[in-house]
């Protein structure tokens, strides 16, 4: 019977504690969070007038083993009635845009979209897909995302669509990011089938088996593309924290930054500002650089590797306008790096989740994402001014 310490109270640390709490081999779980709240990037503002604004993720995908697993957890937490689903037939699922050459362009979808030349692309994407099947499998253990898609689907597609996607998902540069780490499904499809398209059609290897619960079955029946919660996604970490505290097995400490961890003869010692904690095992859900700063000197090689992991700062700007101000309806739009180095994209929140609008009067809610790799310490106020003015240029 073991005591396990979990470092970090974001969604990763909360989920780890949730499963540890259910294990008969674990006697006690100690969850340590440095800030005054749990949930990490899952953060929602609930305004008194009923509007909800997300400062991190706003939708969760139900697909695959991870998606089913998350919905099974939601079942266990009793949040079934709080689910706000978005189906594949919804306009937010069908319409996604790119902002290229100072114009919004709808991404091609369906057979018709693949057969036609749709700006900003210079020829039908069907040509890229046909070519992809004939491209030889890569010989390297890994490569950048840009290199991978250049080989398989062409430079234009990589420069515009893939570049925009990586900026929207990772706030990162597809010319530096690893395809094996960021898109393992596509990497494995090529390795197993010699083609991404064939791998996606025929399968690219075994995947974890997660029996679907009631919510997961409902998501398939109703064809969900994504889902949120009525009071915002922060309801998920809040509910996990409440369950953990009711279990009697978990000690949850906020405002408890870890200063140092080091091994002793029989266990691990964790030094906090106000004392020591002992644990048989430690699970870290800390950012890489935060973990590197608390490791003992005996872990120097690991510390150096952790310090090499790069991160970026993203400014998230929530906007609300009276009435309907959008030129189009859809999930939102992304920008390739060739268009604008600072603005990553705009999400049309009120289209996908109108349930989060205030109940009285028509409004438009948007979220603008901005990142400046050239100057990571650029004042956020300046970024806010930039992103708001840029959005008005885009929407007019």
pLDDT of residue 376: 45
pTM: 0.89
pLDDT of residue 393: 55
- Per the CB < 8 A criterion, the answer to whether 371 and 171 are in contact is yes
What is the tens place of the pLDDT at every residue in 153-176?
999 999 999 999 999 999 999 999
For residue 149, is pLDDT > 80? yes
Average pLDDT over residues 377-386: 50
For residue 375, is pLDDT > 70? no
DSSP SS3 for 51:
coil
What is the tens place of the pLDDT at every residue in 78-128?
999 999 999 999 999 999 999 999 899 999 887 777 788 889 999 988 888
Residues contacting residue 244 through CB under 8 Å, at least 6 positions apart: 14, 17, 18, 21, 29, 31, 250, 252
For residue 69, is pLDDT > 80? yes
pLDDT of residue 23: 93
Domains of the chain: 2-50+233-308 (3.50.50.60), 91-202 (1.10.3110.10), 313-394 (3.90.660.20)
For residue 394, is pLDDT > 60? no
d(CA 233, CA 63): 17
Indicate the helix (H) or strand (E) that contains 7. strand 2-7
User: Sign (positive/negative) of CA torsion 59, 62, 67, 70?
Assistant: positive
pLDDT of residue 109: 80
- Per the CB < 8 A criterion, the answer to whether 98 and 105 are in contact is yes
Q: Which residues pair with 52 in a beta bridge?
A: 46
pLDDT of residue 249: 95
d(CA 257, CA 163): 37
pLDDT of residue 379: 46
For residue 390, is pLDDT > 80? no
């Amino acid at each position: 019977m073991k005591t396990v310490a979990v470092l970090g109270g974001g969604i990763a640390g909360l989920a780890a504690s949730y499963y540890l709490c259910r294990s008969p081999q674990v006697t006690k779980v100690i969850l340590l969070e440095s800030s005054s709240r749990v949930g990490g990037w899952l953060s929602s503002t609930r305004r008194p007038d009923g509007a909800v604004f997300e400062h991190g993720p706003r939708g969760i995908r139900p697909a695959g083993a991870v998606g089913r697993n998350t919905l099974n957890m939601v079942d266990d937490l009793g949040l079934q009635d709080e689910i706000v689903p978005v189906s594949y037939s919804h306009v937010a699922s069908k319409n996604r845009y790119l902002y290229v050459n100072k114009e919004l362009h709808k991404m091609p979808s369906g057979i018709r979209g693949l057969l036609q030349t749709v700006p900003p692309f210079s020829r039908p994407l069907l040509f890229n897909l046909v070519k992809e099947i004939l491209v030889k499998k890569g010989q390297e253990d890994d490569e950048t995302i840009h290199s991978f898609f250049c080989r398989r689907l062409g430079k234009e597609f990589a420069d515009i669509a893939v570049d925009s996607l990586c900026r929207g998902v990772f706030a990162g540069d597809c010319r530096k990011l690893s395809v094996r780490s960021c898109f393992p499904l596509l990497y494995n499809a090529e390795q197993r089938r010699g083609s991404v398209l064939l791998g996606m059609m025929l399968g690219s290897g075994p995947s974890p088996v997660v029996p679907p619960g009631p919510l997961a079955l409902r998501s398939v029946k109703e064809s969900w593309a994504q889902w949120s919660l009525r009071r915002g996604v922060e309801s998920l970490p809040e509910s996990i924290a409440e369950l953990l505290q009711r279990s009697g097995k978990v000690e949850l400490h906020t405002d408890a930054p870890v200063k140092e961890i080091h091994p002793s003869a029989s266990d691990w010692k964790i030094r906090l500002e106000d004392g020591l904690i002992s644990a048989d095992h430690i699970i870290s859900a800390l950012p890489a650089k935060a973990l590197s700063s608390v490791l003992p000197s005996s872990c120097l090689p690991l510390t150096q590797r952790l310090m090499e992991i790069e991160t970026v700062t993203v400014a998230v700007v929530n906007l609300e306008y009276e009435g309907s101000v959008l030129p189009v309806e859809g999930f939102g739009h992304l920008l390739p790096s060739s268009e604008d180095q600072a603005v990553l994209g705009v999400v049309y929140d009120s289209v996908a989740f109108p349930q989060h609008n205030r109940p009285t009067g028509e409004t438009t809610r948007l979220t603008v994402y901005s990142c400046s790799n050239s100057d990571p310490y650029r004042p956020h106020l300046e970024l806010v001014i930039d992103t708001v003015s840029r959005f008005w240029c885009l929407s007019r």
